[in-house]
Structure 1
Amino acid sequence: MSFIDYYSDDFSPQEMIVVAGARTLQDNKVIFAGTGLPMVAITLAQLTHAPGIIPVFEAGAVGPRLTRGLPLSVGDSRTTSKAMYLQGLNSAFELAQRGFCDYGFIGGAEIDMYGNLNSTMIGDFPADYQKPKVRLPGSGGASDMASSCQRTIIIMVHEKRRFKEKLSYVTSPGFLDGSPDARKKAGLAGKGPYRVITTRAILGFDQATRRMKLLATMPGETVESVRDNTGFELLIDENVYQYEPPTNEEIRLVRDEIDPEGYFIKKRIK
C-alpha cells in the first residue's frame, strides 16, 4: 500500500488534534475526559489500538463504552452506557485524588511555558476580574483534573496570543513556576502536564527545567512556523520530527462512526 493510499490528505485541524490525541493514549489506561474533542479522541483510541481504555466522566460514569452515540457533555446520559459503575461527581474526582486516573484530558484558552492553563478571564488580574476584557467558561473540572490526575494531556489552538509568557489568570496548574517540587509544595497530587497537542505541534516538557519543548511539527508546519506562533521562548528537542497525518481509516472512523453529525469535528476550535 502506498503512502497516498494509506494516509489522508483531507483533514481539518480538529481531526488532526483528535488523531494525535488518540495516538497518545495507551491501552488499559484510565482517562478522565473533558467535553468535546477529548471524547472523540478516546473513542477513536478504543476503536483502533486501545480497546481497554477506561474513560471517566465528571458526572460520575466510569468505564462506559461510547457506542450509543457521542455524548454532548460529560453529564450526557450516553456517558453511562455499559459503565462499570456510576456514583456521581464526588466519586469521579475521588478516583483522581486517590491516584487511579492515569491521564486528564483538558484544554484552555491560554497556556504558558510551564503548562499552566487559563480558562477563566482575559485581562489584568485582579483589577479586571469583575469586568474582564473576555469572560471565559471557567474551570469546570479541569483544575481538579490538572491537580490530581497522574498526568495531563492538553489540546489547544496554537496562536501567539494563546501561548503567553504570563497568563491573565491561572485556572489549571501545570508546573507552576517551574521550580523543583513546585507542585508537591503546593499540595498537588499529580505529576503535571505530559503533552500539549495543538493545531501546529506536539509539545512536551523538559525534565530538568519543566519548560515546554517542541517534539514534533504537524503536517505542513515547520520549527520556524511553530516558533513564530508561540509567545515565549520554546525549547526545541534535538530529534524534532514531522508528525504523520491521519490515516484514511482514522478519518473514516471519526467522520462516519464517532461524530457523523459533526458536533465537535465541524465546530470551530476556540
Structure 2
Amino acid sequence: MMSYTTNEMMTVAAARRLKNGAVCFVGIGLPSKAANLARLTSSPDVVLIYESGPIGAKPTVLPLSIGDGELAETADTVVPTGEIFRYWLQGGRIDVGFLGAAQVDKYGNINTTVVGDYFAPKVRLPGAGGAPEIAGSAKEVLIILKQGHRSFVDKLDFITSVGFGEGGDYRKQLGLPGKGPVGIITDLCIMEPEASTNEFIVTSLHPGVTREQVIENTGWAIRFADNVATTAEPTAVELDALRALEARTAAAHGGQVGGEA
C-alpha cells in the first residue's frame, strides 16, 4: 500500500466525483488539479472549460492562471469569454462547476472577497472572478478546500458565491437554475447537503480521520450522516498520475505546482 498525504487524499477524492463525459467549468488552484487528475485517470472524456475561453483543455501541466497559454494551446477550441458565460454557462450547458474557496459555511456559500469588514478588511482576497455565475448557473457545483476553523466558518464575512443561502429552498426563491453545491471535499472528509435543510453534513471520513478531528476543524456545530462511509484510499494509479502531474508542473513553473491556491 502506497503512503499518501491528506492533500493527495483530498485531490483524489474530488477527482472521483467528476463523471466521465461531463462538461466541467474549472476554477484555478485545487479545482484545476482535481479536474485534471480526473481527466488523466477515471474520466478521460471529461470536457474542461476555463473562463478565459478554452474548451476541452488538456494541459500537460497545471495552469498558474486562466490566462496560462497551456490552456489555449491544448484546447479543442477557444472562444470569447462572453460566449463561455452566456452560451455555455447561462445556457445550461455546464454539468459541473468546480470551485475553491477561502471560506465556506454550512449551506455551501463561498467567500473569496474579504476577511473582516468589507470597507476595512483584515485580508483582501483574490475576489469573485466567474465563481458567482458558476455557483448560480452550473447544473451542479463541487467545492474543494482544506478544512480548518478559519475556512469553515459559522458566518461568512462576505458571500461571494451563493450555495444554498440560508438553507431549505432559498435557491428556488432566488430563481437560480442550478442545483447548487452537491459536495464539499476537504483533506478530512466529504460533506453533502442534507435533504430538505440543504445543510452540509459529513457523509464520508477519509481513512484514519476521526469525527473529533472534523468537529475541531469546523466553525459550526457540524453534524454527521446516519451512515458515515470511509473514503476509499487512493490507488497507485491515482497517486502516480497526481505526482507526475505535480512534478511536470513544478519543473515547468520553477517549483510552483499550480494547485495550492
Note the 1:102-251 alignment, pairs <5 A: 102-123=95-116, 128-180=117-169, 182-251=170-239
Match of 1:45 in 2: 38
How much does 1:260 deviate?
2.7
Match of 1:252 in 2: 240
**Aligned partners of 2:91, 2:63: CA distance in 1, in Å?**
26
**Aligned partners of 2:211, 2:118: CA distance in 1, in Å?**
36
**Corresponding letter in the other structure for 2:43:** A
In structure 2, do the counterparts of structure 1 residues 261 and 28 end up closer, same or farther at CA, with 3 Å as the change threshold? closer
**Aligned partners of 1:37, 1:134: CA distance in 2, in Å?**
20
**Corresponding letter in the other structure for 2:82:** N
**Aligned partners of 1:265, 1:163: CA distance in 2, in Å?**
26
SS at match of 2:83: helix
List runs of 5+ in structure 2 lacking aligned partners. none
How much does 1:14 deviate?
2.7
Per-residue CA deviation, residues 232-263 of structure 1 (Å, 9 max, x unaligned), is: 12231122122122222211111224543446
Mapped contact 2:30–2:260 kept (Cα < 8 A):
no
List runs of 5+ in structure 1 lacking aligned partners. none
Match of 1:70 in 2: 62
Q: Which of 76, 88, 101 matches 1:84?
A: 76
How much does 1:164 deviate?
1.4
Match of 1:28 in 2: 21
Q: Which of 94, 119, 140 matches 1:101?
A: 94
**Aligned partners of 1:259, 1:117: CA distance in 2, in Å?**
30
Mapped contact 1:55–1:63 kept (Cα < 8 A):
yes
SS at match of 2:143: strand
Greater mean alpha carbon deviation, residues 190-199 or residues 31-40: 31-40
How much does 1:266 deviate?
5.5
Mapped contact 2:10–2:188 kept (Cα < 8 A):
no
**Aligned partners of 1:60, 1:211: CA distance in 2, in Å?**
34
- Root-mean-square deviation over aligned CA pairs: 2.0
**Aligned partners of 2:137, 2:247: CA distance in 1, in Å?**
29
- TM-score (normalised: structure 2): 0.91
Mapped contact 1:154–1:195 kept (Cα < 8 A):
yes
Mapped contact 2:145–2:185 kept (Cα < 8 A):
yes
**Aligned partners of 1:268, 1:35: CA distance in 2, in Å?**
7
- TM-score (normalised: structure 1): 0.88
**Aligned partners of 1:165, 1:265: CA distance in 2, in Å?**
32
Mapped contact 1:151–1:194 kept (Cα < 8 A):
yes
**Aligned partners of 2:29, 2:39: CA distance in 1, in Å?**
16
Mapped contact 1:58–1:75 kept (Cα < 8 A):
no
Per-residue CA deviation, residues 99-125 of structure 1 (Å, 9 max, x unaligned), is: 1101111111111110001111111xx
Per-residue CA deviation, residues 167-224 of structure 1 (Å, 9 max, x unaligned), is: 11100100001132x2132232211101101111111001211001101112221122
**Aligned partners of 1:53, 1:266: CA distance in 2, in Å?**
22
In structure 2, do the counterparts of structure 1 residues 154 and 134 end up closer, same or farther at CA, with 3 Å as the change threshold? same
**Aligned partners of 1:35, 1:164: CA distance in 2, in Å?**
22
Greater mean alpha carbon deviation, residues 73-82 or residues 45-54: 73-82
**Aligned partners of 2:118, 2:36: CA distance in 1, in Å?**
37
SS at match of 1:250: helix
SS at match of 1:18: helix
**Aligned partners of 2:256, 2:168: CA distance in 1, in Å?**
38
